[in-house]
Structure 1
């Protein structure tokens, strides 16, 4: 049985239920949530085929849940609602003491935040943006906002007015219309934008590299289920159809990861002062 549910849960939620062969005779269903870097409609289109493939390959029943608001996503993550989730690097640090989400996989390419301006802009260096309005997807979007804002203040000495627009495409479009002086994003999201938009913008600043967005699992998920999901993602890279699915979610080269190796260093950045609570 294949059932697709669209419903509102204090925002926008999509649930995809796939009934497959039960895992070890158990009818347990696991949920997977995705950080809303893009609109729910776009994430729905990109992630459902991959979830279908993972479910089919493992025999594990999965339910995809998407929330339109970054704040709602973080609130649910801090409550431990999702069994699996695709999160930004700082979410792993944020939830470690509260829920203990376990990083399973990340893409081999590092995460790099970028600061963009219009191609014909008078702003030639990051220092020219002092006192200007800069757009960001969300306050706690890691590479595109949280880390980037901290570096602009602490390392570059900038004073600016942040404007939060919800998603990366919103930042690109407001910047292209000259509504803001500059905008924050990450390399992968910028490269995934249409050529028509990219050609109107240029990068004037990049953050240092950090480990990319991981797929994490709640500790309540049995280790054999976590391992099966991890191996299924890794196996996708071995065939053309699987590689296409991974490319669609900007996760082209999955590798195993661990908190101590890849995300523990983020604790030393002390970004709490730049963490901006959002309303649900």
Structure 2
């Protein structure tokens, strides 16, 4: 992909994972139907995906998360920090775990490229072994820290990583949503055959994503909640990922968010892993 990336938080923690100070919760009202006839008639699936990219205009983001995993009566809690930065034709991400004790010091570094033919890079640092492991191939489809996220969900997706199709427009809470279907251009590098995304028309940010596996079955749903404003940017502060079988749920709560805090590129070099 040669065109510059039009950005959106790859939802994954990318998803991810990049999510409070004295900020206000958005109170958006549904837009009158008569006010948006042009959008309803002319916006394609790609247009909507591109608007969602452009809605997140920040250059860098720092977030401190509490991640809670609930599975079959057992609850796991993990504290981590997320750093992300956007470049003209790529993006970088760093995750650092602080708790519990057995996870302290574990780090994930991701380098995501706009060029479709170029595989994104991902590494994991294990402090007990003092080694850096590259996460590639089938390992990207493994569970991320025993949560409902996959390692793949940490990677940022650009608009043209997928083919987008407009499905419908419908109410979603206090707003209206444009619903699109996205299928990966490179099906060989994704565990998902498609994703269905609900994008709020007032913020042009996703509020829900359904993930289908390679057989087409629903595997999980991500719900993005509690949107707050940080300066001139809006961001979700709570993400809930629920398995389709109802046996597990992962909640990501952004306890602190700093947008355009001046992160330096050297933070995302390999040296930061050790």
- TM-score when scaled to structure 2? 0.28
Larger relative helix fraction: 1
- TM-score when scaled to structure 1? 0.28
Structure number with larger C-alpha Rg: 1
